[in-house]
Structures are given as structure tokens and as C-alpha cells.
Structure 1
């Protein structure tokens, strides 16, 4: 039995036994009238009375460089229309969908996004490691065949002709995809070097999700600050000998970045080290071809507002904007509030309980010139296709005024 499942069973049995012994076995564990409270039902309501700035849109046009329109909207035309309306209300000029894939799949995704809204979306391609191989037999996967890296480089050249703006690597690259011997694919395996080199030659940035939050690699015990989240998602834990350490994964990614100085890399989710921005700072100093973005990490950045603000002010030219959406409108507005205000102690998500940690966040109140860089100027410099479409959006907005 997995460690987390065993801990949950032990906790549940112990709680139930104590409850039965007290003669209250039929009463709910709801914390009412002195009864015990199940952790999953804990819903603290803040009593602080502090300023609340209810922003309804971003102050400047936004390029969201981290979205998942294939996986979240399932190619629903109605949901796409609805979200473009959300984009309009929130001053989101462009979204970059990271779910393009290759070949016919890319064509289908491009048709979905570009038929009705050609000027509002960009698309990144993805590597197909498996191909037509058997999912349960990694030795049959496409990546095991000779010259796989070179063939993928040719595929990337073709998909760029179709309008692709970059390449996205998912966290399964290092934590899920298997090699022929059943071990996990290594991020810095020389077999993949032609892919990184091709991206540099083609001018396609590589956004890479490597590893995951620190808590997901720690023992699931009473000291793990995201125990409640992991109790709901035990499959998100990478603690154990069957996985490489978080440090190994990040070091392998960094070796790839260092070996390919002509290729632009974007470290998704603040290079997946938002808990330690001092280390991210070291990486940015060492690798001039590395950028970062905060998708799904204002939960971490917002609980260290002084450190986050200092970091963003210092590296304002190396940070793009991302959300990991499309999200509900309420969650998007927490991003504007985090970046634009000095509000204290507010949610980072509309969900109850919040999805990433039982805490609130604080705004960092960035100045306008830095906001513009984060929201769109850096993306226009780094991501092919952004500048032209952004100019069209700004011109249309100006025509409405």
C-alpha cells in the first residue's frame, strides 16, 4: 500500500476508534459543539480587516505565456468563446497554448484556436516520445529508434512553418516517460541534444516543466506543509526511491540549458523552485538564456512578498507572465491583485479548500514600467509571433477609446 494511503488509513482508524470510545460514534466529525474536526473539513475564515482592491482587469495588456487550451477546454467551441470573453474583460491580449503537439494534432489545435480567433492565440509544439509504440512497452517507443533527436528536429522545422512559436516539455519528461530498460528518461541524455539545438536555430523558445514543488518530494508526514493537498492527490507525490530526487532533475535541466546557450529556455512555474528564489537568482545569473514565469505559483510568491518583489524588480527583464489556465475569472483577478496592489492576506484561488496550500497571500505592488515588462514586453521580445499580434490588439483597443 502506498505510504500516503497507509497514513490516511491509520489516521482514520485512530480517529474513529477514539470517537467510538467517547460514545459519539454516530456524531459527525464537524468541530461543532466541541466535537473533533476532520482536517479535510477545516475552513478557517479570516477575521482581519484590511484593504481590499477588487481589480476587474489587468492594468496593461497581458500575454499569458502558459495556458492549456487542449487539455482544459477539450476543443469545445462554446468554452473557447466564453474564455475569449473573459480575456476581453481582463485585458488579456494573447494566450499561448502549450498543447500543440505535432503533425495532424497540431493542425487540429490550430484550427480550433485560429479559425475564429487568429490574432488572440499562439501555439507551442510538443515532442511525441511514444509515437505508435505500446504504452506498456517503452522499448517500442519512437524515442528508442536511432536518429530520434534528428527526426524531431525536422518535425519542429515543419511545425514552425505552420505557425508554432515554441516547444513545451511536460514534467513527465524526467518523471514519467520510460527508457527501453524501464528506467525514467534522463533530461540531459545526449540523444535529445539535436532537439535543443534545433530550437535554437529555429528561434523557438523551450518552456520546460521540470520536477515539482518541494513538498511533493518530501515524506508525507505531519511536517509536510502540503499534507492536505497530497491527501487529495496522492498521485502527485514523487517521494520514494522509484523517482530521481528533485535536485537531480533540476541539475539535469540546468546542464541542458548550459550546453545550449543559443537556445532560449523558459523555466515554467518559476523554474519550479519558487520556494527558494535565492537559488533561482543564481540560475538566472549563470544562464543568460534562461527566463522564468509564475504560472500556478502566486501561492508561493505571495506568501513571501518582500523576497518576491525584490526578485522581480532585479530580474524584471527575465520574467514572463503565465497562469497555467484557462482559469475561472476570479482566479485570474488574484494575479492582477498580487502584482499590482499592496493588499494583505487575500486568497490566491477561488477554490475551497485552496488547491496548493492552506494559506493566503500578499500583493507586491509593482511599478508600471515593471508591470509592462512582465505583462507583455518581455514576451514580445522572447516569443515569436507575439509582437505582431500584440500590436493589433493594442491598436483595436485604442480605436475603441
Structure 2
């Protein structure tokens, strides 16, 4: 005889499972979290797969992501398949850490070029400028051909190892002897100031970059912190006060929202460049404006990635720069939930962004 209670329990479990499966597959839009929003384009429009860049590429902004000879060898194969001629490794390191990175990447000849950081040890003592210059010269003798990535998000320079320089910004007079030595040694300086404007805005429904901005939000309530405009001003001060030193502002100087200001700086200072790394999503929302900006400043912009070394990463940057594709998403790559559009840059402009501008800096400052 079949136990009716067992049947009832089994039926209840089956119903509960079916209901759970329904809610897992059919989302309840009234309770959908913003972080789970994953739009897909429904437009039946051209989709261009760019497997290899239109010209040999010099990636002016990367880091020592590969930590073994096997990983570097794999990276080189990916570079070959995607058309990356050379990668600049911004080690942000000094001392023994820099030496180990230089030894690892130096075995690959012209495929990688390693830049060092600045040693801020004792930055609050009178001996600092001289000690920083000595370490810079030592790194140069070891093979460093540039400095970077230096970084300041408001509280001071903190990217370089082994110690941060809280309270000291890029225009601090203590750094002038260091930048003079950079000019003497023909070492360009890569500098990151601030973060994208969305990180400074209110984290509410009016912030159209909220999905990514929330993760990287800047707390302006911290004592002594500089805001975005103030940080860009420190950058401009340093560029102006050190006219013989080449400065490369990475990430469009985090002025994607105000490229006119970046343009004025490029117009004013011949020793100033900008790399385009890790700001593809922030610029691919305004493709016509960006196309005009690239055309106008085609001699001063440098290709960079700053996003690892996967083939898909390189190829989405090529798609944005080279094609006229419209309304596509790359949420997993960039974090933003907005649609992207290609710039369809002319080949003459692409060649400069990918290679010519970087070659001019590297060859001039060898």
C-alpha cells in the first residue's frame, strides 16, 4: 500500500523545486539588482571581429602581469597573434623588486621595455631628492628607460614601491631634481592623477556610471584629500615647471568628461602626451566627439591597455578604435553597463596612435 503522506511530501518538494527553478530562470524584474543588470543588444547590425591590429602596436601602458618565463612566453605568443610589437612594463618598482622584474623581462629583447618607479623613502627628510635621484640612476643603469606609473588619487603619490609619499603631489618642489634627472637621462614619466569623474559623483540614481563607479568611489571626506580638478592642476603645474621632461598622463588624465581641458594642455605643453589605456568604455559612449578628438590630437595620443594580456582584451580595443560598430556591450571587460560604439579612426590616425607616436618617444629617449 502506498503511503499518502509520503506522496504529499514528495509533491510539496516537487512544487517547491519547480517554483525555485522558475524564479532562477525567469527573473523578477521588480527585484532585479543593478549589479546583475546584463543588457544584450538586439540590433541586427554589423559586428566586426578585429583579430589583429591594423598596424604593429606599441602598448605604452602595461604592468608585470606575467610572473614567470612560461607566462611571459605565453604573453609574447598572444602579442604576436594580436599584432603587439612591444609592451612597456610600468613596474612602479625600485630596488630589488625592480631588479627582479628587469631580469625577467629583459630576456625578451625588444618585445618588452621596463620602466621603474621612484623611491620615496625619506621623502620628508632633506636628503630625499638626492637619494631618489641616486636610485633613479641605478635603475637606469640596470635598464629602466622611463618612470611609471606614478599615481596620486588625492592623498599623495602612492603607486611606487617600496613606500608611499602621502601628502606629496606631483608638483611638489622636492621632485624637481628628480624630474630634471629624468630629462637628463631621457626617461619619460608616466603619471596617473585622479580617477574618472563618476567616482566623485553622488552614488545614486543620477550617476550613469554607478555600476562601476561604486566599486572605485573616492571618499572626499578624508582630511587633506585633493579633488579631481585639483589633481589635474598638480599635473599641469609639474608639466609646466619641467619643460624638458616628457610627461605621459595615463587614462586621458582622467578627463574623459572634459576633453577640452585635456586638449588645452596638449596645445600648451609640447612635453605633454596622454595615453588612452583603460578608458575605452568611458570614451566609446561618445564616438563622434572622440573621433574628432583623436584626429585633432593624433600626434599626442598613445595606445595603451592596462588590463592584463588576454587576446579578447586587445581585440575589443581594436574594435573600438578601428570599426564603425555600434551599440555593443563589454560589461565583463570594463564594468560599465552602457553601450559602446566604434570610432572608425582613419588609418593615418591609427598608425600614429598605435605606433608612430610611441616610436618617436622611445627612439628619441633611448
TM-score range, shorter chain: 0.7 to 0.9
| Pick aligned residue for 1:121 from 81, 94, 112 | 112
The alpha-carbon deviation at position 172 of structure 1 amounts to 4.0
Distance 1:26 1:305 in 2: 41
Which residue of 1 is the match for residue 78 of structure 2? 86
SS of 1:32's partner is coil
1:216 aligns with 2:199: yes
Mapped to 1, the partners of 2:209 and 2:257 lie a distance apart of 13
Q: How far is the alpha carbon of 1:246 from its aligned partner?
A: 0.9
Return the match for 1:324 from 274, 283, 306: 306
Q: Indicate conservation of the 8 Å contact 2:329/2:337, yes or no.
A: no
Structure 1, gaps ≥5 residues long: 1-23, 132-141, 388-401
2:364 aligned with 1:381: no
Count of aligned pairs between the two proteins: 340
Correspondence for 2:40: 45
Instruction: State how far apart, in whole Å, the 2-side matches of 1:194 and 1:30 are.
Output: 62
The one-character-per-residue Cα deviations of 1:178-207 (angstroms, maximum 9, x if unpaired) are 8xxx96323322111111111111111111
Q: Indicate which of 300, 313, 319 corresponds to 2:295.
A: 313
Matches within 5 A, 1:127-138: 127-129=118-120, 131=121
Partner-residue secondary structure (3-state), 1:239: coil
Report how far residue 325 of structure 1 moved.
3.1
1:122 Cα shift? 0.2
Within a 5 Å distance, the mapping from 1:2-401 to structure 2 comes to: 32=27, 36-69=31-64, 72-73=65-66, 75-99=67-91, 101-115=93-107, 117-129=108-120, 131=121, 142-172=122-152, 174-175=154-155, 177=157, 184-231=167-214, 233=215, 236-242=216-222, 243-348=225-330, 351=332, 354-384=333-363
Which sits farther off after the overlay, 202-211 or 146-155?
146-155
Displacement, 1:104? 2.1
Which stretch shifts more, 237-246 or 370-379?
Answer: 237-246
User: 1:325-354, CA deviations, whole angstroms, 9 ceiling, x for partnerless residues?
Assistant: 3232112101111111111122346x1xx5
Summarize the Cα distance change of 1:348–1:294 in structure 2 as closer, same or farther, 3 Å threshold.
farther
Cα drift, residue 384 of structure 1: 4.7
Once the two structures are superposed, what CA deviation does each residue of 1:211-259 show, in whole Å capped at 9, x if it has no partner? Answer: 010011122222122222244x2xx221322121111111011101000
In 2, the alpha carbon distance for the partners of 1:199 and 1:282 equals 24
- Secondary structure, counterpart of 2:71 in structure 1: helix
Return the alpha-carbon distance in structure 1 between the equivalents of residues 97 and 327 of structure 2: 43
Structure 2 unaligned regions, length at least 5: 1-18, 159-164
Structure 2 vs 1, CA of residues 34 and 227 (structure 1 numbering), >3 Å: closer, same or farther? Answer: closer
Cα RMSD (Å) of the superposition? 2.5
